[in-house]
A and B are shown apart, each in its own frame.
Chain A
Amino acid sequence: MAQSILKEFTKGLWEQVPPFRLVLGLCPILAVSKNIENAIGMGVACTFVFAFSNLLVSMMRNIIPSKVRIAAYIIIIATFVTVVELVMQAYTYPLFLKLGIFIPLIVVNCIALGRAEAFASKNPPLASVADGLGMGIGYTISLIVLGALRESLGNGTLMGHQVFGPDFLPFKFMLEAPGAFVCLGLVLCIMNLFGKK
């Protein structure tokens, strides 16, 4: 039992890490990976939503009629997104302003709905929470990886600290919109290069 839950948790970390392996939830990945701080904030918010929406969907899986299930899942996810939105507004206001409309847009993040439909609607609550947490943490890690890459190359800093010394000429392209696309494309390429299993 414990082993299977561990398996559900770890598969989100490497085997099926959402943005790179499943190619889901790309919009926030591109938009908020400008620096590590934003990436962590977004990742934590997403993890919270994935875990709790999975929990609730899984607990209600026998009550929800299958015809209206998608609508029901969307409402459940939207509820938790509203919770995150209000909590961030109250406690981390500067981050809330920086992430902007990408917080309410967690609702339409394909990962949340995808996991609810593909996993939580068929499995018991504990495994579903493990799955949601794993996916969320995998998502956070990919956000941080991309954020670190773009921040270090584009600005020469990591979490606000200089990393390459004062002579480093920042590669500003990485911080702009086109850089995000190219950077994600190259990371995807590297992921394909290593471990197609």
Chain B
Amino acid sequence: MGDYIVLTVSCILINNILLAQFLGNCPFLGTSKRMDTAVGMAMAVVFVIVLAGVITWLTEMYLLKPFNIEYLRTLSFILIVASLVQFVEMFLKKSIPALYTGLGIFLPLITTNCAVLGVCLINIKEEYSFIETLVSSFTYSVGYGLALILFAGIRERIILARVLKPLQDTSIGLVTAGMIAICFFAFIGMV
């Protein structure tokens, strides 16, 4: 049990997927201008990463490993992620329309979110067991959501501030992200 707590803390705070491992930055800067889009994106990311993490782990263990075709990992994982996103989109549209209207426009964006493929690859690289995969997928994505929502909150305030012209928009966004990364950096001593 202790191991899982350590894993949780390390995935959310110390190895934060966004601020320490630099994955998923394009949607991070794109959807963080307003709080409601940030929350929608964060929820969609948690949903898809957990599903994708589990399915790619099963694929690796029961399909790629037994047949010795690990070199097809990149190809098969990206196909799984892409088709999973499509499938989730159709499923939500049909059965949970309320959730679909909330997540709708963010789902297609997730295919090219490198955090999804990144978490799947990290799970395989670290040789996690099934439960560990489940925990790490969930906590990594929660960490992503946390950073995204924090960042959106700060960015909403920056709009009100007077920023130098060349620094505006993405530029000040990146500097702010750096400041948040410093805060997360302080957690390194914890484990």
Contact = CB atoms under 8 A, between A and B. Distances in A.
Interface of A: 23-28, 30-31, 70-71, 74-75, 78-79, 81-82, 85-86, 100-101, 104-105, 107-110, 113, 176-182, 184-186, 188-190, 192-193
A193 B21 CA distance: 29
A185 B175 contact: yes
A145 to B, nearest CB: 15
Contacts of A85: 71, 74
Interface of B is mostly: helix
A23 B30 CA distance: 10
Contacts of B125: 100-101
Interface string B7-48: 000000000000111111110010000000000000000000
B29 A26 contact: yes
B151 to A, nearest CB: 11
Contacts of A71: 79, 82
Given A75-B79, A85-B74, A105 B117 contact: yes
Contacts of B179: 178, 182
A74 B78 CA distance: 8
A109 B26 CA distance: 9
Contact of B19 (A108, A109, A177): A177
A185 B74 contact: no
A24 B30 CA distance: 10
B114 A27 contact: yes
A70 B22 CA distance: 25
B121 A189 contact: no
* 10 A-B pairs closest in CB distance: A185-B174, A181-B178, A182-B178, A178-B181, A192-B166, A185-B175, A31-B22, A26-B25, A30-B22, A188-B171
Given A86-B71, A105-B121, A178 B178 contact: yes
Nearest to A32: B22
B178 A101 contact: no
Interface string B174-189: 1101110110010000
A108 B167 contact: no
Interface string B58-86: 00000000000001111101110010000
Contacts of B78: 74, 78, 107-108
